[in-house]
Amino acid sequence: MVVNTEVNIGVLKLNNPVLVASGTFGYGDECKEMVELHKLGGIVTKSLSLNPRIGNPPPRIVETTGGMLNSIGLANIGVKKFIQDKLPFLKSIGTSVIVNIAASSVDEYCMVLSLLEEQEGIDGYEINISCPNVKDGGLSFGTNLSITVEITKRLRSLTTKPLIIKLTPNVTKISDFARAASDEGADAVAVINTLVGLAVDIRTRKPKLSTITGGLSGPAIKPVALAKVYEIARSVKISIIGIGGIMTAEDAIEFMLVGASAVQVGTANFIDPSTAVKVADGIVLYCTQNKIDSVQKLTGAMQY
């Protein structure tokens, strides 16, 4: 049986439902020697800001049980250098290119998106309003409903391309934020960004990250992410891209069954940069074994 792997995220058609998550795959070129990039459902770039950001002081990474904390602080080359140095390669791969935007103000989001709108070869935007590791913007946007509304509304007015709002789980009721994004015309929400976490070195009694707290990712957060996707799926009609600790095809299928139309592989890329390709293959195998002719049919198919 031939399985149709195409999925739709609003007006965006993906070759398969497995993308690589922002901040876990650089700008695509870093992994070209090791990964069959054209087999990815899409690449979500490292977050881009208007100007380059140097990121946070070390230590930025600490491993925890079944996961890791990071405090990178949106280190990136800036949108202009991205357009000049990275976009030509991304365009050449033959997979969907989603550019992730992070900013310290609503105006900065708009300026970055406007610069990208002038370029060919970008298939959509993912808006990071949920980074826990920066002082300005980041979580303070993603946990504020009226700013979430404003950012979505302003960016919607600037582009007809797919607009994906990446939400933070660090709120009381994430479905309120998904609904706000949906009401303002976003095509999809990406769920979830990292959870705020902390680790302490008891020998030195110091926090293990320079910023004290960081963002928890990896398999440890998968059940939390699944619950958030489930909550949102019962609340809004727009597409959901599920993210959170996906290591295997089984993990990805769980996200689809609770309501995700597509998924992103994040932390797993650090361990095996081909994870997303393997996950996509595994989803097809599952569909074949279960006589499902289209992966779209998995979305929301949880029995309960």
d(CA 148, CA 167): 9
Distances in Å between the Cα of 42 and the Cα atoms of 17, 21, 27, 205 are 8, 9, 12, 42
Site for other proteins in 202-231 (CB under 8 A): 204, 218-219
∠ CA 55-66-269 to the nearest 5 degrees? 55
Q: Is 70 in the site for other proteins (CB under 8 A)?
A: yes
Q: Closest approach of Cβ 303 to other proteins, in Å?
A: 27
Q: Is 133 in the site for other proteins (CB under 8 A)?
A: no
Listed in sequence order, the DSSP H helices in the chain are 79-81, 87-93, 106-117, 139-142, 145-156, 174-183, 222-233, 249-257, 268-271, 275-289
**Total binding residues toward other proteins, as defined by CB under 8 A:** 36
Q: Is 175 helix (H, G, I), strand (E, B) or coil?
A: helix
Residues 6+ apart with CB under 8 A from 239: 8, 9, 10, 187, 188, 189, 261, 262
Q: Is 60 helix (H, G, I), strand (E, B) or coil?
A: coil
Using the rule CB under 8 A, which residue among 63, 85, 117, 293 binds other proteins?
A: 63
Q: Closest approach of Cβ 63 to other proteins, in Å?
A: 5
Are 78 and 51 in contact, with CB atoms under 8 Å apart? yes
Q: Is 55 in the site for other proteins (CB under 8 A)?
A: yes
Select from 105-113, 131-139, 146-154, 272-280 the region that touches other proteins (CB under 8 A): 272-280
Q: Which is nearer to other proteins, 59 or 185 (CB)?
A: 59
Q: Closest approach of Cβ 167 to other proteins, in Å?
A: 22
Buried b (16+ CB within 10 A) or exposed e, 154-183: ebeebeebbbbbbbbbbbeebbebbbbbbe
Q: Is 269 in the site for other proteins (CB under 8 A)?
A: yes
Q: Closest approach of Cβ 109 to other proteins, in Å?
A: 21
d(CA 31, CA 62): 22
Q: Is 67 in the site for other proteins (CB under 8 A)?
A: yes
Q: Is 274 in the site for other proteins (CB under 8 A)?
A: yes
Give the largest CA-CA distance in the chain: 59
Q: Is 26 in the site for other proteins (CB under 8 A)?
A: yes
Query: Structure tokens of 50?
Result: 């208007």
**Residue 110 annotated among the catalytic residues of the structure:** no
Q: Is 94 in the site for other proteins (CB under 8 A)?
A: no
Q: Is 289 in the site for other proteins (CB under 8 A)?
A: no
Select from 98-106, 173-181, 264-272, 277-285 the region that touches other proteins (CB under 8 A): 264-272
Q: Is 267 in the site for other proteins (CB under 8 A)?
A: yes
- Active site (catalytic) residues: 131
Point out which residues bind other proteins (CB under 8 A). 23-26, 30-31, 33-34, 46, 54-55, 57-63, 65-68, 70, 72, 75, 204, 218-219, 247, 267, 269-274
